[in-house]
Amino acid sequence: MKLNIEIDNITNAEALAIEDFLSTWLWLKEKNMTLWTSFLVDSASGFAPNIKVNGKEPEKYMGDIGWRVAKVGFKDPEGNYLDDDMYMMDSLLIQKNLDSPSKDTEG
């Protein structure tokens, strides 16, 4: 499968962050590693991209894959421990739904 992703209305810094994020996926593939990756979306501070996937607005996957929000911990630049919520999407759980759909799964 191939996805054509177009992202407009972003700053130079946001573009660099997105490119680095995608580059990390390729690095993980090269190293044959599994690792959760994340990307900060701060719409309250103006992040307002226009996104098209294969020429249309992206659709949310609605199949039942369990909890999608988790608590994560990290240190800020001053060394203080912080926790925050992170939205997590797991392609392995989606594949499991696609391989064995149940009555309550739209996958």
27-81 pLDDT per residue, tens: 999 999 999 998 889 999 999 999 999 999 999 999 989 899 999 998 999 999 9
pLDDT of residue 101: 77
Residues across the chain: 107
* pLDDT greater than 60 at residue 105: no
Closest alpha carbon to 72 in 59, 61, 86, 52:
86
Domain positions in the chain:
5-99
Buried residues in 79-95 as b, exposed as e (16+ CB within 10 A): eeeeeeeeeeeeeebee
pLDDT band, very low/low/confident/very high, at 103 (cuts 50, 70, 90)? low
Question: Which pTM was predicted?
Answer: 0.79
